[in-house]
Amino acid sequence: MIVYLDGKYVDSNEAKVSVFDHGLLYGDGVFEGIRLYEGNVFRLAEHIERLEYSAKAILLELPWTTQELIDITCETCRRNNLRDGYIRLVITRGVGDLGLAPWLCPKPTLFVIASTIQLYPKEHYEKGLAIVTVPTRRINPAALPPTVKSLNYLNNILGKIEAKQAGALEGIMLNDQGYIAECTADNLFIVHKGAVITPSASQGALKGITRDTMFDAAKDLGIPMREQNLTRYDVWCADECFITGSAAEVIPVVKLDGRVIGDGKPGPITAKLLANFRQRVTREGVKL
């Protein structure tokens, strides 16, 4: 595998970051997870824009232009002869000393990995996923804005561990007020009386690219969609439920905390949104 690292395309065995890099020492950096479908990097411009906004929010000045980041991402895919896969683009604060001071890091580190990924077995896309509510709460948006896709993922990792301990592959994370924020790595939606509802970013949800695509798909299909505060009760009593993410795509959820959602099968509105999403993935983005 070929990896882009600080201006060079190198073999993955040679792609090494310094132990003094603040991305490693402090989780000081930002990243994007991007999908490649049939040679089309899905919504790449939107991903790069979110990356740039995340960097700006943490006062990380980027020396690359938007087009340079797009070109680097596409070239990494080409060098790996990749037509379908998953891309991880990471920018750290860079190499510094053992102190926190980011101004002692003279330049950021950039690396891009283009490979394959499969988060969930195929049967879950067809039959639905059973998830749980995890004990770890989502960080308050006033402490760390969820719109910043940073390398600080310990909060989500703890939630993922707790979901696995409960025998589930994914878990819902509540915020400090008890409202649903998101899942450990995915956004959550419910369908209630024909309308699609999802938590807002102000409740701790990441503004996911696939999440945004669901809003576009719903508009195309004439399906009402809105942001709203949600509790577990709302999920238990929903007609349908599904989760979205760049890596996970769109997966129906049929159980929460052992309680059956709807009739326990993937619902018709979820299926329509998924079909619309699959039509978009090869035409909305940047061709290699």
Q: Which one of the listed residues 8, 56, 149, 164 is annotated catalytic?
A: 149
Are residues 268 and 145 part of one domain?
A: yes
* Residue 193 lies in domain: 122-280
Is 286 contained in some domain?
no
Are residues 96 and 79 part of one domain?
A: yes
Is 91 contained in some domain?
yes
Taking the CA atoms of 284, 74, 37 and 122 in sequence, report the sign of the dihedral they define. negative
Rounded Cα gap, residues 239 and 134, in angstroms: 22
Is 171 contained in some domain?
yes
Are residues 136 and 17 part of one domain?
A: no
**Total number of domains in the chain:** 2
- Name the residue among 273, 139, 157 with its Cα closest to residue 206: 139
The CATH number linked to 275 is 3.20.10.10
Is 288 contained in some domain?
no
Rounded Cα gap, residues 135 and 286, in angstroms: 40
Instruction: Report helix, strand or coil for 218.
Output: helix
Are residues 259 and 199 part of one domain?
A: yes
Is 271 contained in some domain?
yes
Are residues 110 and 135 part of one domain?
A: no
Query: CB pairs under 8 A, 24+ apart, for 51-54?
Result: 51/89, 51/91, 51/149, 53/147, 54/30, 54/147, 54/148, 54/149, 54/150
Are residues 92 and 133 part of one domain?
A: no
Check: pTM over 0.85? Answer yes or no.
Answer: yes
The CATH number linked to 19 is 3.30.470.10
| Contacts of residue 175, Cβ cutoff 8 Å, sequence gap at least 6 | 137, 138, 140, 141, 181, 203, 204
Place of tokens 């201006």: 7
Are residues 142 and 102 part of one domain?
A: no
Are residues 83 and 144 part of one domain?
A: no
Active-site residue 127, yes or no?
Answer: no
Residue 121 has a pLDDT of 87
| Mean pLDDT, the chain cut into blocks of 10 residues (288 residues total) | 98 97 98 97 98 98 98 98 97 97 97 91 93 96 91 96 98 97 97 97 93 97 98 97 95 98 97 96 95
Are residues 143 and 239 part of one domain?
A: yes
Q: Where are the alpha helices (DSSP H) in the chain?
A: 22-26, 44-57, 66-79, 122-127, 154-165, 209-221, 232-236, 268-280
- Name the residue among 284, 101, 89, 256 with its Cα closest to residue 183: 256
Is 188 contained in some domain?
yes
Last residue of a domain, one of 115, 149, 177: 115
Residue 188 has a pLDDT of 98
- Reported as a single tens digit per residue, the pLDDT across 206-239 is 999 999 999 999 999 999 999 999 999 999 999 9
Last residue of a domain, one of 115, 138, 153: 115
Last residue of a domain, one of 115, 148, 165: 115
Is 170 contained in some domain?
yes
Place of tokens 């989760």: 243
CB 73 within 8 A of CB 113: no
CB 254 within 8 A of CB 262: yes
Rounded Cα gap, residues 134 and 74, in angstroms: 37
Are residues 109 and 37 part of one domain?
A: yes
Are residues 173 and 47 part of one domain?
A: no
Amino acid identity at 83: R
Is 285 contained in some domain?
no
Are residues 228 and 274 part of one domain?
A: yes
- Reported as a single tens digit per residue, the pLDDT across 230-271 is 999 999 999 999 999 999 999 999 999 999 999 999 999 999
Which pair of structure tokens corresponds to residue 127?
């039959």
